[in-house]
Amino acid sequence: MLYELRIYEAVPGKLAALNARFENHTTKFFAKHGIQIVGFWTTLVGESNHDLTYLLAFEDMADREKKWNAFSTDPEWLAVKQATEADGPLSLKIRNQFLAPTQYSPLQ
């Protein structure tokens, strides 16, 4: 398994809108394209309370590329993204990391 950790730094004041887009739209597009969601988190204590962090699971990098490319070019998703950013972007920065589980990890 390959895990992708993604951290979105929301524009100040737009974390609620970013969460709403994920809850009402993005997760449905992930399901449509077979992207497996492990979980979503916001930061209670830490470097920034403007962050939305989530973890996705893929079989391998080729699986990730195929599914992510289908999602990111989906015309319906692009229309939703454009509509939800009519008043400007919801995130300032997106960071991601690809993680491989250790032999002793409960998540394989």
pLDDT for the residue numbered 46: 87
pLDDT for the residue numbered 96: 97
Percent over 70 (pLDDT), the chain: 100
CATH number 3.40.50.1370 is the correct assignment for the domain at 2-99:
no
Q: What is the pTM assigned to this prediction?
A: 0.93
pLDDT for the residue numbered 86: 97
pLDDT for the residue numbered 98: 98
The answer to whether residues 7 and 52 touch, using CB atoms and an 8 Å cutoff, is yes
- Average pLDDT of the chain? 96
